[in-house]
Amino acid sequence: MLNPTLSVIAPLYNEEESVIHLHKAIRDALDPTDIDYEILFVDDGSKDETVAVCRTLTEQDPRLRLVQFRRNYGQTPAMAAGIDNAKGKILVTMDGDLQNDPSDIPMMLNKLEEGYDIVVGWRHNRQDKLITRKIPSIIANRLIGKVTGVPIKDNGCSLKVYRAEIMKEMPFYNEMHRFIPALLSVSGTRVAQVKVKHHARQFGESKYGLSRIYKVLLDLLTIKTILSVTSHPTTWFGKLSLIPFTVSFLCSLFIGSQALEGQSIIISSSIALIFFSFGIFMLSLGFLCELIYQKGNLKINQLVSLTSKVLHTTSATQSNTLQQETTNAQ
Amino acid sequence: MHSNISAKKLSIIVPVCERTEETGSLFAEYKTYCDQLSDEVEYIYVVSAERAELTTELKEIQAQNSDMKLIILNRDYGEATAIQAGFSHATGDYILTLPPYKQVKTDELSKLFEQIGDFDIALAKRWPRLDSRSNQYQTRIFNKALQKLSGQKYDDIGCGVRLIKAEVLKEVFMYGDQWRFLPLLSYQIGYHSTEIELTQAGEDSHKRFYSPGVYLRRLLDLLTIIFLTKFNKKPLRFFGLIGSSSIIVSLIGLFYLAFEKLVLDIGMSDRPALVLFSLFLVLGCQLIAIGLVGETVIFTHSKDLKEYRIKKIIGQTE
């Protein structure tokens, strides 16, 4: 079998009921098109019969493969495994619980053909509980958009279409799948957003809860730092260190006025010193990050060259060439 | 099950690190019982740090037994390193590690082979125990703490008698004193452990109290392991938790001082509490900043990181 053009990746965790429907839905969506595709299911250490069901499916469908984990690792590692093992030039990731609709895939592929590197789904008509799912998600997406500067309406949507050569170079760990558009934007990747269908869960329980917000907040801080560090290693910490330096400076002014009035200055001068040393600490962390980034094996610069190459091959029309120039200019 | 394993080669690794008084004399006893476990058995003794007398004794034994290898490390790097050094010379499909002193009844070792089943690691659990209450409490407290912190339950993680599939040791990365934490570290990469009850040896039952330094080191080990297994690849979750609690404490304190100043008109400028809460604030921010640096390290090395381990791929592979 030659390498397929398209790889559809879906992580599964205790989805024995959904998996047959999912497989059928993907086939129904892609068989009418003449795309050569493969399906990759990743079993994330399911405790039920998911693996057995998949095994029978693989016997019926040579285009289906199942990557089985040794234990439960989580959704992002499962997607990472799918991406690492996919053979297609274009990758599609989606949820394994039938909440995404594979019939959106051909439409997203067309969008990608317009010259984008990644097309993300937007569940504009989301079928989830309002308070526990939708509102936290809206807040999180606003925050992510504000902090990263990439206004994606629905970062949590798993249904995404990527070019494989870019995705395989991207770091993909922790719960970073949420931030893929933001991370890709560093390398000048062009991101498109399309509305996709969303269904309520048919089988099983939703596997994620409210505690995510705290994690998202921390991840956001991480992403902001990483994005800042990769572009200007020392300036980010330099900027941060301005805050303690200012506090320290204000305290010193206060010391002066206290001394003139003949009051004790021990307390205010210790505070000034604490914040001054904190400022120095933050500055040195900036240099440390520079060192780390230089010694690390991930070079955003290489990613930039990769994306511009991709754009070059796809840029048939005048407008695309223009866009390529602007991307390079960034 | 038993016959199945006996057809495979077994390597026995003994890390000679502490309590080495009876090591030499114990070899004969180990050999008597272990030779029955499999058709092909090799013995690997790893002596860490030069112990002149012991080394001479072991060399004599080695000269008489062709199935024994003796490895001498020039410094004491800890049990985990000793085991890894031994493993690099091992050829067996199964590795049985034994302490250089008697922990369990030797004639019960075959139970490990009979009961390992589909597990990758069989840990011996010293039970029934013959030693003093104080020893048992120490074991229980340590294991309870570990369970609370790691979420994994082991009753006797301090026991050095373990039967391990060779592939586990090939993959797991451990060093220093992390030997006891092998089950946690290997669960990380997807290997499962089981505990099997073996009667404790009478020789193991004397009262043990260590110096405070040993307990402190154990505690630090525990924290390191928690950090490595639970917050591995997410340093900010760890530092952020401590950092933000420090910041919350400081903010509560600062608000209280501000309240006193504004409502009760108690001056702020001569209160040491202000310095204390400022310190908490700065400490919290520093911890979070360190977490961020940690995240940068992870990010810049993320190409080497594989968070998952694949059992197998089913379906067309060509």
Asked whether the beta carbons of B157 and B183 are under 8 A apart, the reply is yes
Residues B104, B250, single domain; the answer is: no
Residues from chain A contacting residue B234 (CB–CB below 8 Å): 174
Q: Is residue B216 part of a domain?
A: yes
pLDDT digits over B149-167, tens only?
888 889 988 899 999 999 9
pLDDT of residue A303: 61
Domain match, B110 and B240 both:
no
Q: Do B315 and A81 touch (CB under 8 A)?
A: no
Q: Is the domain of B19 the same as that of B160?
A: yes
Give the structural domain span for B288: 235-304
Q: Identify the pLDDT of residue B89.
A: 93
B117 inside domain: yes
Q: Which of A70, A271, A278 sits opposite B190 (nearest CB)?
A: A70
Residue B233 has pLDDT above 90, yes or no: no
Interface check for B270 against chain A (CB to CB < 8 A): the answer is yes
Distances (CA, A) of B34 to B108, B112, B116, B197, B315: 10, 12, 16, 18, 41
Residue A212: pLDDT band (50, 70, 90) is low
Last residue of a domain, one of B230, B258, B276: B230
Name the residue among B270, B307, B315 with its Cβ closest to that of A264. B270
- CATH code for position B206: 3.90.550.10
Of the CA atoms within 13 Å of residue A166, those in its CB half-sphere come to 31
Kindly state whether residue B311 falls inside one of the protein's structural domains: no
Which pLDDT band holds residue A241 (cuts at 50, 70, 90)? very high
Is B245 part of any domain? yes
pLDDT in tens, A165-201: 888 877 777 777 778 777 777 667 788 889 998 888 7
Q: Provide CB contacts within 8 A for A255, sequence distance 6+.
A: A265, A268, A269, A272
CB contact under 8 A, A63 and B316: yes
Same domain for B272 and B218: no
For residue A139, the number of C-alpha atoms closer than 13 Å in the C-beta half-sphere is 12
Residue B302 to residue A173, Cβ atoms within 8 A: yes
Whether residues B265 and B212 fall in one domain: no
pLDDT of A55 strictly over 70: yes
Considering the domain architecture, whether residues B265 and B147 belong to the same structural domain is answered as: no
Tell me the pLDDT tens digit for each residue of A257-299.
Answer: 888 887 778 888 899 999 999 999 999 998 898 888 888 776 6
Among the partner-chain residues A69, A174, A292, the one whose CB lies closest to the CB of B233 is A174
Which of B195, B230, B265 marks a domain boundary?
A: B230
Decide if B171 is inside a domain.
yes
Query: Which pair of tokens denotes residue B152?
Result: 């994994």
Q: With an 8 Å Cβ cutoff, are A171 and B296 in contact?
A: no
- A94, with CB counted inside 10 A (0-12, 13-18, 19+), is buried
Of B41 and B21, more confident = B41
Give the total number of structural domains in chain B.
Answer: 2
Last residue of a domain, which of B175, B210, B230?
B230
Q: Nearest CB to A66: which of B278, B296, B315?
A: B315
* Rounded Cα gap, residues B211 and A226, in angstroms: 44
**Taking 70 as the threshold, does the pLDDT of residue A8 lie above it?**
yes
Residue B181 and residue B296 in one domain: no
Q: Are residues B288 and B182 in the same domain?
A: no
Cβ contact B299–A171 (<8 Å): yes
**Cβ contact, residue pair B307, A85, below 8 Å:** no
> Same domain for B223 and B255?
no
